[in-house]
């Protein structure tokens, strides 16, 4: 099982949710992490475990797209031995990152619109994020159905930062929509048992943070 720590950025700080909307995200407190500086926070995560891939969501850019984020560029450069999957709220095909070798672009249904262009292109270095809330896919249009993603994030927005456990219904929805995709699960992971349950469910990658910081993962038996 591959564990992928999740980092949410807002105003160039690491933040965590305190409510049901992104406006409720606040700087990560000292009882969770010694720092909210993103680069130092990555160092902190690597002191916990030898993670190979990190997920970053740029909440400011998801709200209002910013093409050149200097902080993310700095992170990619400094940690060039790591892989990053990044959601920066890309709206258009022309905004996709085609350059950085250690970054995989997330195409989030909440923000992306130009699925036809993506479908017609030969670009494969993306992960689709099926952004789900209240059992529905958040999307600008339903043309995400045109895609055949190699990997798809089951992004349970209702569950992020909450100990709700696994949403198996949403996993099944993705499998029904994309028969051959590899599902990456995100949202609501409470502890090691949830991770093992996902593994038994045929999922090999999970995005999480709270259970890492709360020391509820046994890395030796994954």
Structure tokens at 120: 């017609």
In Å, how far from its chain's centre is CA 82?
15
Report the alpha-carbon angle 46-51-57, nearest 5: 90
CATH label of the domain that carries residue 106 = 3.20.20.70
More confident residue, 11 or 67: 11
pLDDT of amino acid 216: 96
Task: Check whether 22 has a pLDDT greater than 80.
Answer: no
65-82 residue pLDDT tens:
998 899 999 999 999 999
Mean per-residue pLDDT, 95-117: 95
124-127: long-range pairs with CB below 8 Å, 24+: 124/150, 125/98, 126/96, 127/85, 127/151, 127/152, 127/153, 127/184
pLDDT of amino acid 158: 87
Task: Check whether 111 has a pLDDT greater than 80.
Answer: yes
Domain containing residue 89: 2-221
Q: What is the spatial distance between Cα 11 and Cα 36, in angstroms, rounded to a whole number?
A: 11
> To which residue do tokens 């450069």 refer?
77
Mean per-residue pLDDT, 127-149: 96
57-66 residue pLDDT tens:
999 999 999 9
CA distances to 43, 135, 173 from 55, in Å: 14, 23, 23
Q: What is the spatial distance between Cα 207 and Cα 184, in angstroms, rounded to a whole number?
A: 7
In this prediction, residue 20 has a pLDDT band, given cuts at 50, 70 and 90, of low
pLDDT of amino acid 19: 64
Nearest to 65 by CA among 88, 87, 84, 85: 88
In this prediction, residue 24 has a pLDDT band, given cuts at 50, 70 and 90, of confident
Structure tokens at 197: 């349950």
The total number of structural domains in the chain stands at: 1
Q: State pTM to two decimals.
A: 0.95
Asked if 205 contacts 4 with a C-beta cutoff of 8 angstroms, the reply is yes
Task: Check whether 30 has a pLDDT greater than 80.
Answer: yes
């Amino acid at each position: 099982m591959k564990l992928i720590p999740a980092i949410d950025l807002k105003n160039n700080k690491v933040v965590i949710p305190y409510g049901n909307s992104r406006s409720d995200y606040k700087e990560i407190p000292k009882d969770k992490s010694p720092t909210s500086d993103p680069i130092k926070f990555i160092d902190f995560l690597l002191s916990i475990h030898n993670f190979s891939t990190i997920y970053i969501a740029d909440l400011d850019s998801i709200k209002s797209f910013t093409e050149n984020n200097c902080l993310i560029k700095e992170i990619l450069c400094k940690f060039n031995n790591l892989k990053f999957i990044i959601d920066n709220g890309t709206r258009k095909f022309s905004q996709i990152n085609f350059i950085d070798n250690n970054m995989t672009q997330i195409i989030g249904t909440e923000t992306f619109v130009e699925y036809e262009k993506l479908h017609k292109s030969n670009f494969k270095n993306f992960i689709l994020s099926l952004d789900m809330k209240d059992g529905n896919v958040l999307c600008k249009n339903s043309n995400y159905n045109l895609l055949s993603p190699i990997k798809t994030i089951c992004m349970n927005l209702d569950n992020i930062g909450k100990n709700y456990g696994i949403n198996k219904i949403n996993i099944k929805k993705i499998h029904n929509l994309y028969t051959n995709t590899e599902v990456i699960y995100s949202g609501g992971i409470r502890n090691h048992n949830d991770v093992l349950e996902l593994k038994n469910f045929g999922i090999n990658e999970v995005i999480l943070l709270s259970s890492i910081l709360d020391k509820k993962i046994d890395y030796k038996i994954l």
